[in-house]
């Protein structure tokens, strides 16, 4: 990137038209530099994580059980027993 700046400085110092050319070339060069830096920053290609090699997964059988509590048939029961939809202060838990 510094080489392009040096070339632009040499072209600009030679004559008046070179200055205009260097000024016109500075826009695309700056745009490419900004795009490349943003791309590199957010892609993090130099800091990639290889999941298959760097992560250990230990599989084990599922433990636990399910117990049937209730059965809802049809759509006549529109609300769940014990809901707090009408009492918003009860449902919010404040952090001390």
Domain boundaries of the chain, sorted by first residue: 2-44
Radius of gyration of the chain, Cα coordinates, nearest whole angstrom? 33
CB 94 within 8 A of CB 88: no
- What is the average per-residue pLDDT within 21-38? 90
Q: Which of 11-15, 21-25, 52-56 shows the lowest per-residue confidence on average (mean pLDDT)?
A: 11-15
Cα–Cα distance, 85 to 17 (Å, whole number): 74
CB 6 within 8 A of CB 22: no
Give the tens place of pLDDT for each residue, 60-86. 888 888 888 877 777 677 787 777 778
């Amino acid at each position: 990137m510094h080489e392009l700046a040096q070339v632009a400085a040499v072209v600009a110092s030679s004559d008046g038209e070179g200055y205009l050319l260097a000024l016109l070339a500075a826009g695309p060069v700056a745009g490419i530099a900004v795009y490349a830096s943003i791309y590199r920053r957010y892609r993090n290609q130099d800091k990639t994580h290889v999941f298959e090699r760097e992560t250990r997964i230990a599989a084990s059988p599922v433990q636990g059980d399910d117990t049937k509590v209730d059965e809802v048939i049809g759509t006549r029961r529109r609300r769940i027993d014990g809901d707090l939809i009408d009492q918003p202060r009860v449902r919010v838990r404040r952090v001390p």
